[in-house]
Amino acid sequence: MIDKNKTIPNSNYLDNAYYQQLMVLNEDWQLNGAVPVAEQPTATDKQACEALVFAEVRLADDLRLEQWLDCYSDKCVYWIPASYPTADPRQEITLEFHDKRRLQDRVARIRTGVAYSMHPVIRTRHVLGNIEYWRGDDNEVRARVSFIMDALFNEKHRTLSGWVGYSLVNENGEWKIAVKQINLIDADCLQENNTFFL
């Protein structure tokens, strides 16, 4: 369950400068091809970031959502664009755009046990591949990961795929997700109700 004594993160960081940085990240994820050795993170940082990326999707798949939330920085964005290629979220609608506070709200709603879209409880499994890492700003590693996710709901399978852009930051020696941008290959097509986490 959500710890009621835990501080609720604020959303004051979501200003115009933050959105500008999101668009810089978006361009970097799309344009960064083969990463030169000089731009690669240290082996230690790469290993820690890779462990975080794999843990985050495994915790979502296992519905260990409180631990999943701990993978994210208090200043984070979880973003699923509704366009392909991705457009500025200040000017285009998105499928989802959440800060940490909103992610906590969604987990709390799921935990009520009365979320209609979770009856029966959905089962998901992610497969990640083609992972690339490169250094970003200070204490930041950026990653681009291809994914396929199978979801089983009400005895029906659904497959989602695309790529994810990550901004991973080192906060006091612990790596956290600052931005997760999920780019579905059919983002600009009619979507079902994605109440689970991608």
Cα–Cα dist 187/129, whole Å: 20
Residue 74 lies in a domain: yes
Residues in contact with 38: Cβ distance below 8 Å, sequence separation at least 6, in sequence order: none
Tell me which DSSP letter residue 82 carries: S
Q: Return d(Cα 195, Cα 191) in angstroms, integer.
A: 11
Strand partners, 98: 78
Residue 66 pLDDT more than 80?
yes
Split into its structural domains, the chain has a count of 1
CATH number of the domain enclosing 143: 3.10.450.50
- 193 within domain boundaries: no
- Write down the pLDDT at residue 191: 84
- Per residue in 178-193, pLDDT (tens digit) is 999 999 999 888 887 7
CA atoms within 13 A on the CB side of 68: 21
Average pLDDT over residues 110-128: 84
7 in any annotated domain: no
Report yes or no on 3 lying in a domain.
Answer: no
**Per-residue pLDDT tens for 134-152?**
999 889 999 999 999 999 9
- Could you tell me if residue 32 is inside a domain? yes
Q: Are strands 72-81 and 94-98 parallel, antiparallel or unpaired?
A: antiparallel
Residue 94 is assigned to a structural domain of this protein: yes
Q: State mean pLDDT over 164-169.
A: 97
Residue type at position 33: G
Whole-angstrom distance, CA of residue 133 vs CA of residue 34: 10
Q: Let me know if residue 76 belongs to a domain.
A: yes
Pick the closest to residue 1 from 103, 150, 146, 112 (CA basis): 112
Q: Which residues contact 144 (CB under 8 A, 6 or more apart)?
A: 29, 32, 130, 131, 132, 163, 164, 165, 166
What torsion, rounded to 10 degrees, do the Cα atoms 184, 157, 149, 66 define?
Answer: 110
Query: What is the pTM (predicted TM-score) of this model?
Result: 0.90
Residue 189 lies in a domain: no
Residue 73 structural domain:
16-184
Give the length of the chain. 198
* pLDDT of res. 10: 77
